[in-house]
């Protein structure tokens, strides 16, 4: 079996031209029974594979069905328990699942016959949303609290949880968000921090919300379900961070790329949102930087072996990092 892999397909609106999509062929020889890399695989003997990690869906929520299908193979997706989990084909070969009632079901990839042959199965359960957690990209881990600079425009990730604090897909249709001291804005207006998404580290669950933070003082982001609060994120809008640093996403070798981002904390070690600056590098020729004006991260391309210092200039300070290219 040969599989074409497309890598590093990045939105052109932000870093246009800085990463070019490419394809390469992997000869996997004996098919899925001999596959080299973990993950979903299809071949003549296994024409369909579910590619999603989610096994739990929010009651009242909806989410796409992740499925990998051998080219030219005809199939459909059904639910083993349509009163609990309904599957709808929204476009040719594209399916969405809807959580109608609490309970368990299986996603079934089948042919079109009345007594269908099942090619692949994926377990699902539908659970009510009982809570939520919040995360901010550069900080990574779930947040108990967030700090932010006045006027900052950032993405906050919200993940719906069941009563056992397990993540649920489809929470964006169920969770309503309320803001105090901040405003919801279009995601397109926020800082576009692409590092985790490009290199496959983005979380599988949850949805992003654009937030514009107000004046210095206290703010909150509250997740509500059916009018009742299930989680609240306290936010401190502060005049300036206590500490700022630069974090490189991965080691660099000549010809490689990585994202370098601004990270900061307040005087209580709470992650700070809204850190942006302008970027420079010295000496020239070792790495090349690509970033929009006043951005929270920069794409670093390694051009040659050696060491270079990348500097970010913020409104109140400069921070630098020595980058060594092997």
Q: Which runs of E-coded beta strand occur in 187-326?
A: 207-213, 217-225, 228-237, 243-248, 257-265, 272-273, 278-282, 287-290, 297-302, 306-313, 318-325
Residues 144/148/153/157 CA torsion (nearest 10 deg)? -10
Cα–Cα separations (whole angstroms), residue 264 to 105, 147, 193, 268: 44, 9, 15, 11
Instruction: Specify the fold of 131-237.
Output: Immunoglobulin-like (2.60.40)
What pLDDT does 138 receive? 73
CATH 2.60.40.10 positions along the chain are 131-237, 243-325
Say which CATH architecture domain 243-325 belongs to.
Answer: Sandwich (2.60)
Q: What is the CA radius of gyration of the chain?
A: 23
What pLDDT does 76 receive? 96
| Coil, helix or strand at residue 200 | coil
Q: How far out from the chain centre does Cα 29 lie? A: 32
Question: Using an 8 Å Cβ cutoff, are 290 and 280 in contact?
Answer: no
Q: Which residues of 197-223 are buried (b: 16+ CB within 10 A; e: fewer)?
A: ebeeeeeebbbbbbbbbbeeeebebbb
d(CA 111, CA 299): 45
pLDDT tens, residue order, the chain (326 aa): 334 333 333 333 444 444 444 333 444 455 676 666 667 788 888 899 999 888 999 999 999 999 999 999 999 999 999 999 999 999 999 999 999 999 999 999 999 998 999 999 999 999 999 999 999 977 678 999 999 999 999 999 999 999 999 999 999 999 999 999 999 999 999 998 876 454 444 556 899 999 999 999 999 999 999 999 999 999 999 999 999 999 998 899 999 999 999 999 999 999 999 999 999 999 999 999 999 989 999 999 999 999 999 999 999 999 999 999 99
| Coil, helix or strand at residue 238 | coil
Structural tokens at position 188: 């397109």
Maximum Cα–Cα distance for the chain, whole Å? 69
Question: Using an 8 Å Cβ cutoff, are 79 and 87 in contact?
Answer: yes
Distance linking the first and last C-alpha atoms of the chain: 35
Phi, psi for residue 10 in degrees, rounded to 5? -115, 145
Q: Can you list the pairs that 263-269 forms with residues at least 24 positions away whose Cβ atoms lie under 8 Å?
A: 263/138, 263/139, 265/147, 265/241, 266/147, 266/236, 266/238, 266/241, 266/242, 267/242, 268/145, 268/147
Task: Evaluate the CA torsion angle 198, 10, 279, 265 in order and state its sign.
Answer: negative
Cα–Cα separations (whole angstroms), residue 156 to 183, 233, 305: 12, 10, 37
Instruction: Specify the fold of 2-126.
Output: Immunoglobulin-like (2.60.40)
Predicted TM-score (pTM) of this structure: 0.84
What pLDDT does 27 receive? 44
Cα–Cα separations (whole angstroms), residue 278 to 172, 237, 247: 34, 22, 15
d(CA 216, CA 113): 63
d(CA 233, CA 249): 27
CATH 2.60.40.1080 positions along the chain are 2-126
């Amino acid at each position: 079996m040969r599989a074409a892999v497309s890598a590093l397909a990045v939105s052109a609106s932000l870093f246009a031209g800085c990463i070019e999509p490419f394809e390469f062929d992997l000869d996997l020889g004996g098919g899925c029974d001999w596959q080299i890399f973990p993950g979903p695989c299809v071949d003549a003997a296994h024409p369909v594979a579910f590619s999603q990690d989610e096994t739990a869906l929010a009651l009242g929520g909806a989410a796409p069905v992740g499925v990998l299908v051998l080219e030219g193979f005809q199939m459909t997706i059904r639910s083993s328990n349509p009163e609990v989990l309904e599957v709808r084909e929204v476009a040719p070969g594209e399916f969405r699942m809807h959580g109608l009632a609490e309970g368990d079901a299986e996603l079934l990839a089948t042919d079109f016959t009345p007594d269908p042959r099942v090619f692949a199965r994926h377990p699902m359960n539908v659970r009510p949303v009982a809570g939520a957690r919040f995360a901010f990209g550069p900080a990574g881990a779930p947040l108990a609290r967030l700090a932010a600079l006045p006027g900052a425009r950032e993405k906050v990730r919200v993940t719906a949880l069941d009563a056992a604090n397990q993540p649920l897909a489809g929470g964006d249709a169920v969770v309503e968000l309320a803001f105090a001291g901040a405003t919801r804005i279009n995601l397109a207006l926020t800082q576009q921090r692409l590092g985790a998404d490009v290199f496959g580290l983005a979380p599988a669950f949850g949805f992003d919300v654009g937030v514009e933070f107000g004046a210095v003082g206290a703010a909150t982001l509250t997740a509500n379900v059916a009018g009742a609060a299930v989680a609240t994120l306290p936010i401190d809008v502060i005049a300036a961070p206590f500490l700022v640093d630069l974090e490189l996403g991965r080691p660099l070798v000549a010809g490689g790329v990585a994202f370098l981002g601004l990270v900061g904390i307040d005087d209580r070690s709470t992650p700070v949102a809204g850190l942006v600056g302008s970027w420079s590098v010295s000496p020239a020729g070792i790495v090349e930087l690509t970033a929009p004006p006043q951005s929270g991260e920069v794409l670093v391309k390694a051009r040659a072996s050696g060491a270079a210092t990348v500097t970010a200039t913020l409104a109140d300070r400069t921070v630098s990092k020595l980058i060594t290219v092997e």
